[in-house]
Amino acid sequence: MSRSRLRSTAVAGAAMLAVVGLLGACGGAGPAGAARAAGEPVYGGTLTYLEHQPPTCLYLPAAGFYPNGGILNQITDKLTWQNPETLEIEPWIATRWEVSEDATSYTFHLRDGVTFSDGTPLDAEAVAANFDVYGLGDEKLKLPVAEFVNNYERSEVVDRLTVRFHFAKPSPGFLQGTSVIGAGLVSKKTISLPYEEQCQLKNIAGSGPFTVRHQVVDKEVRLAAREDYDWAPPSSEHQGRAYLDEIKIIVTPEDNVRVGALTSGQADFVRYVQAYDEETVKSAGFTIYAEPTRGVNNGLYLRPGNSILKDPDVRQALLAGTDAREVVDTLFTPSYPVATSVLSHLAQGYVDLSPRLAHDPDKANALLDKAGWARGADGVREKDGRKLRLGVFVAGPQPLSKQTLELIGQQWAELGVKLEIRPADAGTQAVDIKDAEKTPLQHSMVGRADQDVIKSHFHSENRDAILSDDEKLDRLLAEQSAEPDVAARNAKVGEIQRYVIDQAYAIPLFEEPQVYGGAPHVHGIAFEAVARPWFYATWKS
Amino acid sequence: MTRYVMFRAGQAVLVLWAAFTAAYVLLRLLPGDSILIKFQNPELGLSPQQIAEIRAHYDGGASALATYLDTLSGFLRGSLGYSIDTGTPVTERLAEALPETAKLASAGFGLAVLIAVAIAFAAASSRSSWIRGALLSVPSLFVSVPVFWLGILLIQVFSFRLGLVPVIGGSAAQQLILPVLTLAVPISAPIAQVLARAVDQVRAQPFVPVVAAKGASRQWILWRHVARNATLPALTMAGLVFGELIAGSVVTETVFGRNGIGRLTEQAVNAQDTPVMLAVVVLAAVVFVLVNLVVDLLYPVLDPRLKAAP
């Protein structure tokens, strides 16, 4: 019944809003302000969303890659919802849960009546099947374990709508783990497919507010609203089906084509607006969304296994000799806050260490002199006939990585340190990145809104950014990860940040955001805690 | 004639085999491989041992020569293997990408020929040496324009400023206009240059004054006599610019976000997706060989003097 009525309301609403918009423009009111106060949401319409890269493998634990997450966040739901404002874990598919005292068992009570897009029910068995794979992997199907589940032992289907998970060790990070992008729930049929098939979008059946309508590989994905969707997180203001009828995700690799298409009205929303394009977007009356990623900051990570960097004085010197403020002021915008610790100031357990990150070239030079590196004829320091030369790869996923490294290279040249910047050739990088001698520095970051993010980045069994041989660091990270008490856990995270800076394993640069641009007629864009867009309550006026 | 065709076909097979083998060897010599690139993704959190197991699953630990022969026989049977990056059969990916590039390249080539003919003959029929000089310097300008820059410029002006053609959305035909133009401009340049020079050479031949003495007009001579004789070198050139069509489509497809062979190549190179790269090289070689074979077989049709020759 309501479809046609909704439509006519939509048209009337749109016409009214157009008038308001015109008046606003005449009066010279700020368009961003006008967009916020745009009135009642309307149903219908297609959102054209331009992506920077094509999606790769869509197996859910690999959803961290933003082009993958931008699709999967629309077509899957999670057990829990992490409120991006408060970072609290709120109900979603699980209406409530119990966690054992020592955080080794979790019981989730599921919402009734939820179905996957292939028609099968989202029940305890399906959830158990999902997490068995995410927690243990599947050798036969070649499915790897997910990064966000640690110490997983087994699942237990208590009844049709109750599922319990057991862990070998206390795992306080698991509750947040059920809310992350990679923990999207898929049907039992999907989760029992081999890796290669779970990689393909056409095989992914989720329970999200949108379903896949059409895909042209590497070019375009069209998502359609699911009419019977009725299980949004209870804390969402909007309930029922999504406002939009359709989302068209189009891969547009060229930066200035994305921005030009947005400002000329050919697209509604774009991902990855470069820092130097932000002003163009804003001055055209469009909105910049710079969303924090709440994790380990964009920075250089120093490998103590390298024969030059094994000397803590050299690492301290590089930390003191790097001017992160200059990097941000020269290359970036206020959307990229200067780092004040290893973690983003919005990360859980963050402590402010800015006094210890101050730029101090005198200290840097003194430390290098003390370490026995003397300036050679060409200005580059030497010791025992060896030049103070360090190599780093340009980081493909990091914004303006090459320019950032070039600027730091200039800062270091004044200290007498030569930074060798290598292009990100995938093959060479894959071989050399795990070799501290060939790659003494890594330029990277990780986003995730949980204390465990620091473990993901530094632990020798996770991403291992510094190719750690530091047993103390591994121990601290493991203790943090197994601490059920939140206050004690945050204190541990603070201790780790201090330790990493004490040891100068990291030169934090800035808090890396995901920067999106949106047209003034697009409203209700939401983001999950690590800046992937959620178009459920999005509407166009 | 049959012997000539047989000879050329044999030559083509040899060229294809050489292209396949050279590409195969070079791709194997590259550092790293797609399995490492794909599975070392830190988000998957695999240990080096697990990666080694995955690799064993892919190549089964066979010797280099055995894998080479296996891949070669696969190509002969039309089975090009699986893309390591996406897990789909390579033939499927080519089948998706090929029609897109075929449309772009054929329309781009057609337009390039039109532009070239227009420039060469406008210059030839012009009586003012100033206009003639200006027209003949256009190809030099065209050939020095970077495709990437031209694409961006056309998008900025015609789509974003003037709003004449949408780049995002729009019908299939609308989506072709700007990429075709981008591709055609640099391709037209060498054809136009060769054609213009050939026109000059043919006009200097003794039969031209004879035809003129019989009362033929300037235009009649140009179109009926000179044009026909001047197409041969231009045709050779057209066969050769095919390589530039492929190179141009890599850039054009990336700028315009089209999913064709060019984009596929770019992605395969980034991910070092060896089976896809190998297939693209062989495909390019096949088309190159075919185009040049067609050009050679067209010579006798255009010029009766060549009929008896080989």
Torsion angles phi and psi, residue A506, rounded to 5: -140, 145
CB A47 within 8 A of CB A522: yes
Domain of residue B97 covers 90-308
Contact criterion met (CB below 8 Å) for B216 and B226: no
Residue B181, in any domain of the structure: yes
Domains in chain A and their CATH numbers? 40-74+208-292+513-541 (3.40.190.10), 77-200 (3.90.76.10), 296-511 (3.10.105.10)
Structural domain contains residue B62: no
pTM assigned to the model: 0.85
Least confident segment among A132-141, A299-308, B81-90, B187-196:
B81-90
Amino acid A6: pLDDT: 41
Residue A164 confidence (pLDDT) above 80: yes
- Angstrom distance (rounded) from CA A228 to CA B160: 39
Tell me, yes or no, if A56 comes closer than 8 A to chain B by beta carbon.
Answer: yes
Distance CA A184, CA A116 (A): 12
The pLDDT of residue B49? 67
Question: What is the tens place of the pLDDT at every residue in A387-440?
Answer: 999 999 998 889 999 999 999 999 999 999 999 999 877 777 777 888 899 999
For residues A104 and A167, give the distance between their C-alpha atoms in angstroms, rounded to a whole number.
Answer: 5
Contact A48 B168 (CB under 8 A): yes
pLDDT for position B267 = 84
B163 near A CB under 8 A: yes
The string over B229-262, giving b where at least 16 C-beta atoms fall within 10 Å of a residue's C-beta and e elsewhere, is bbbbbbbebbbbbbebbbebbbbbbbbbbbbbbb
Write down the pLDDT at residue A415. 95
Whether residue B60 lies inside any domain: the answer is no
8 Å CB contact of A261 and B259: no
pLDDT digits (tens, 9 = 90+) for A179-200: 999 999 999 999 999 988 898 8
Domain count, chain B: 1
pLDDT bin (cut points 50, 70, 90) of residue A148 is confident
Per residue in A454-479, pLDDT (tens digit) is 998 999 888 889 999 899 999 999 99
**Residue B176 falls inside a structural domain:** yes
Task: Identify all chain B residues contacting A197, using CB atoms and an 8 Å cutoff.
Answer: 87
When pLDDT is cut at 50, 70 and 90, the band that residue A238 belongs to is very high
Of A341, A344, A373, nearest to A358 (Cα)? A341
Tokens, residue A35: 């967009």
Find the CB nearest A427 among B44, B258, B272. B272
Residue A1 has pLDDT above 80, yes or no: no
Task: Tell me the pLDDT band of A43, cut-offs 50, 70 and 90.
Answer: very high
Q: Does the structure show a pLDDT above 70 at A15? A: no
Name residue, tokens 């080539």. Answer: B109
Note whether A397 contacts B: Cβ–Cβ < 8 A.
no
Place of tokens 């709120």: A90
- pLDDT at residue number B48: 66
- Kindly state whether residue B1 falls inside one of the protein's structural domains: no
Q: Where are the alpha helices (DSSP H) in A355-502?
A: 361-370, 401-415, 426-432, 453-458, 471-481, 486-502
Encode B160-175: b = buried (16+ Cβ within 10 Å), e = exposed: beeeebbbbeeeeeeb
Interface contact flag, B43 A433, Cβ < 8 Å: no
Radius of gyration of chain A (CA): 25
Residue B179 placed within a domain: yes
Chain B residues within 8 A of A463 when measuring between CB atoms: 42, 45
d(CA A349, CA A378): 45
Pairwise CA distance, residues B150 & B152, whole Å: 6
Percent of chain A at pLDDT exceeding 90: 76
CATH number, position B114: 1.10.3720.10
Residue B129 domain flag = yes
At B35 the pLDDT is: 73
In b/e form, how buried is each residue of B55-82, taking b as 16+ CB within 10 angstroms?
eeeeeeeeeeeeebeebeeebeeeebbb
Question: Over chain B (310 residues), what is each successive 10-residue block's mean pLDDT?
Answer: 81 90 88 71 62 67 79 87 80 90 91 92 85 90 89 93 88 90 92 88 84 83 81 80 80 88 86 88 88 82 67
What are the tokens at A112? Answer: 């009734």
> Is B223 part of a structural domain of the chain?
yes
Chain A partners within 8 Å of B163 (Cβ): 264
Asked if A537 contacts A243 with a C-beta cutoff of 8 angstroms, the reply is yes
Backbone dihedral angles phi then psi of residue B247, each to the nearest 5 degrees: -60, -45
Average pLDDT over every residue of A84-101 = 94
- Burial (CB count <10 Å: 0-12, 13-18, 19+), residue A198: buried
Backbone angles phi, psi at A540, to 5 degrees: -115, 135
- Strand, coil or helix: A213: strand
- Per-window interface: B 35-64 vs A, CB < 8 A: 36-46, 48, 50, 54, 57
How does pLDDT run across A325-379, given as a tens digit for each residue? 999 999 999 999 999 999 999 999 999 999 999 999 999 999 999 999 999 999 9
* pLDDT band at A27; cut points 50, 70, 90: very low
Average pLDDT rounded to a whole number, residues A524-528: 94
